[in-house]
Amino acid sequence: MKPALLTFNTVKKMSRYVFFLLLSAASGSVFSQSIASLNFRYFYDPQNEVDLPLKLVNDKNQLTVYYRLQRTGQYANETYTISWQRLETYMQKEGTGIPAEDSLATSGKLSFPLPEKPWLLVAKVTSKSSARTWTYVQMMDPKYPVNGLIESAEGIVFRPYVFTGQEYTLRGAVTDRPLHVYYYKTDFPVSSPPFTEKGAHIDRFMFADSSFSVAHGQKIMFKSRGLYLVQQDTAAAEGFAFRVVGGSFPKFTKVEDIPAPLIFVCTKDEHDELIAAGSDKSKVDKVILDITRDKDRAKNFMRSYFRRVELANLYFTSFKEGWKTDRGMIYLIFGLPDEVSRTGQNEIWYYKNFKERYTFVKSGSVYDPNNYILLRSSKFTESWFNTVDSWRKSRF
């Protein structure tokens, strides 16, 4: 009997099969490393080639995780695979594999029965061309309060903010019950520096400025900026919250928006002068020039500082703008950490230049279950003021 001829499609299928065998072997070696030992620095690196946002929704009797792989610029046409695993703790090295219908799928959802206790859903993204890997983690908490989501024309909204003047659809866990929407126009306080005794905390429950109701699946367009909380059961501490922002967010493009984030690097008198300047660009420019004492340094200062503001807004926005949060403040002043680790309820940032670690402790609420609070200490005083001085001299 003559051997069967291998067609192009057959060879292609075999190559793909061999690739997945190799990928499976590689998966074991990566997943054998505990989550606590990984460096998650790439979460906050704008140069990282991929991102995998995971959106957890408590659908009454089950937990559903939605995901959508995002590629940056030059990697738009790159091929990636996603493999999944279950771990019980951050320290566990070997877990249980979770089969996926298609490892090449770059978006979709995974649903699991409501567990008795929390566990970790781990996703590993692998580049087909370079074999580089990135790990993403979602705590599967049976008490997770988020029980709904927002959709736009492009699909599920993964970011914690939506824009004024655009149409969105609100969906709750129960389709036959109305959604009660609460609006808060509160101008939430800015985080205090890391060497102070206390940070700016949010109350677990706040009084809304106004409210209205919509049907499940109803389209809506928001006109007012601020924080919104959507609930179906108003007697329970559950729902989903998001900010409504202007079209330029996470960038700050208006002159009148400039003073607020500069509070970290200005004296009180300088900041008062910036606020008094309002939308008068010439007066704002004068204050910045007085700080930097050179036009070129002033331009570099503003460009570098507000790029950090943009990134802080992108990564850390929750019930308030990202630059106002504890993590956003540290990122704004000190930049991308050299090491980021997660252990249970803590996220730890390490900066080699300063030889300092900043520990953020998860302190969530219905407004933001994933909010982190910085553990403050007077030991951070020197590095803070030295870095602020570098900003004022435009050494970034």
Specify the DSSP element, H or E, that contains 383.
helix 381-392
pTM of the model: 0.89
Q: Are 22 and 128 in contact (CB under 8 A)?
A: no
Mean pLDDT of the chain: 89
User: How far from 238 is each of 25, 97, 99, 146, 188, CA to CA, in Å?
Assistant: 41, 30, 30, 6, 21
Higher-confidence residue of 199 and 271: namely 271
Mean pLDDT (whole number) for 123-151: 96
Q: How far is CA 390 from CA 160, 197, 297, 305, in A?
A: 32, 24, 11, 12
Query: How far lies 138's CA from each of 57, 90, 118, 159, 369, in Å?
Result: 11, 11, 10, 15, 12
Q: At residue 63, what are phi and psi to the nearest 5 degrees?
A: -110, 130
Question: What are the tens digits of pLDDT across the range 278-295?
Answer: 999 999 999 999 999 999
With bands split at pLDDT 50, 70 and 90, how would you rate the model's confidence at 22? very low
Provide DSSP, 206-265.
Answer: ---SEEEEE-TT-EEE--S-EEEEEES-TTSS--EEEEEE-TTTTS--SGGGSTGGGGGT
Mean pLDDT of 10-16: 39
What is the C-alpha to C-alpha distance for residues 12 and 17, in angstroms, rounded to an integer?
9
Four-residue CA torsion sign, 205, 211, 217, 223: negative
Please state at what angle helix 295-316 crosses helix 281-292, rounded to 10 degrees. 100
Distance (Å, rounded) from C-alpha 80 to C-alpha 131?
Answer: 9
Instruction: Answer whether residue 199 shows pLDDT above 80.
Output: no
Mean pLDDT, rounded, for 227-237: 94
Q: Give the confidence band of 32 by pLDDT, cuts at 50, 70, 90.
A: low
The pLDDT assigned to 391 comes to: 97
Question: How large a percentage of the chain has pLDDT more than 70?
Answer: 90
| Strand pairing class (161-163; 240-245) | parallel
pLDDT > 50? residue 10:
no
Given a cut of 70, is residue 31 above it in pLDDT?
no
- 177 pLDDT higher than 50: yes
- Looking at residue 390, what is its pLDDT? 96
Do the beta carbons of residue 171 and residue 151 sit within 8 Å?
yes
pLDDT score for 12:
39
Q: What is the pLDDT of residues 319-366, one digit of tens each?
A: 999 999 999 999 999 999 999 999 889 999 999 999 999 999 999 899
CB 63 within 8 A of CB 142: yes
In 10 A of CB 356, how many CB atoms? 17
pLDDT in tens, 297-309: 999 999 999 999 9
Q: What pLDDT does 3 receive?
A: 37
Residue 101 is predicted with a pLDDT of 72
